Structure 1
Amino acid sequence: MKPLLLLPMLLTASATFAQTKPAVETEAVQQTIRRFFDGMRRGDSAAVRATLAPGAVFHTLAAKNGQTQLRPENPSDFVKAVGTPHKEVWDERITFDKVLIDANLASVWTPYEFYLGSTFSHCGYNSFQLVKLADGWRIAHIIDTRRKEKCK
């Protein structure tokens, strides 16, 4: 093969590989988050727990008396609550706005609307930090905003 023909083929192949790998990783990151919310909808605490990295941290931003507060939430308490029978399905409907990945770190931004059964409860944005461990992508940190209006 002529060297002049080989160079464009190699460049095309490497560009294709570079595009494919991030797409595969992006899908894997999104799938971890989907499994988290699917488990929540089913009330399956084991499924939710399986998406979390050891030492995962949860926070929410809340307004109290016009002041923003950063409130920690205990992931173990959340997982337990998911598995405790409740009347209504906890249905958090998300879309993927941004997924950023560098090596074994991913940052994901998802607008959401939360429903108790079919009744709207609140909305906001989630920010997920995921890490890629030996067994795949796991959620290391979730922080969210919550409000009743001005969704999306």
Structure 2
Amino acid sequence: MKKAILLLAITCFSTTAFCQNTDKDDIKKAINTMFDAMRKGDSTMLKSVFADGLAFQGVHTKADGTNILENEKPDGFIKAVGTPHKEVWDERITYGDIKVDGPLASVWTPYKFYRGPVFSHCGVNFFQLMKTTTGWKIVYIIDTRRKDNCPE
């Protein structure tokens, strides 16, 4: 009886850990697709990982040190990505904390952004994703932007 209970406990734990790892891999895949689309200038690929109703915001620090919250238009970003531009838009991220609760995920990604080979700015992205019948979709992005004190 004790062996059966132990086996059941191990099986339940292993299944839960496996499911969370699979979700985290799929979440990373959605975010990586976004950045691959930016590098390729592919707005169709970009839209494939965005949920309807996507919200974009940015936190910016003004010259006087005041922080402001800017609401941005996802359609403008999608159009900019798909409009031909000389330089490759290369946002290089590292994955920080990934939290998953059923169909909701949050992801912290420090980044450095390059236009072609030239460094432009850095900061942190914070993503909210939702699991849909067609996979994980990005529903919310907020970021910071600066030229120095870049996160590692």
CA distance in 2, matches of 1:71, 1:4: 58
Within a 5 Å distance, the mapping from 1:12-91 to structure 2 comes to: 12-64=10-62, 65-91=64-90
Within a 5 Å distance, the mapping from 1:104-143 to structure 2 comes to: 104-143=103-142
CA RMSD of aligned residues (A): 0.7
Structure 1: 4+ residue segments shifted above 2 A: none
Matched, 1:94 2:93: yes
Counterpart in the other structure of 2:4: 6
- Deviation string 1:86-140 (CA, Å, 9 cap, x unpaired) is 0100000001101000011000000000000011000000000001112111000
Q: Give the structure-1-normalised TM-score.
A: 0.96
**In percent, how many aligned pairs have the same letter?**
45
Deviation, structure 1 residue 63:
1.5
Q: Give the structure-2-normalised TM-score.
A: 0.96
Deviation, structure 1 residue 147:
0.5
CA distance in 2, matches of 1:6, 1:67: 61
Deviation, structure 1 residue 72:
1.0
Deviation, structure 1 residue 4:
2.5
CA distance in 2, matches of 1:5, 1:141: 46
- Deviation string 1:59-93 (CA, Å, 9 cap, x unpaired) is 11111232111111110110010000001000000
* Secondary structure of 1:10 counterpart: helix
Uncovered stretches (5+) of structure 1, i.e. residues with no partner: none
CA distance in 2, matches of 1:38, 1:106: 20
CA distance in 2, matches of 1:132, 1:15: 22
CA distance in 2, matches of 1:125, 1:95: 10
Deviation, structure 1 residue 18:
1.1
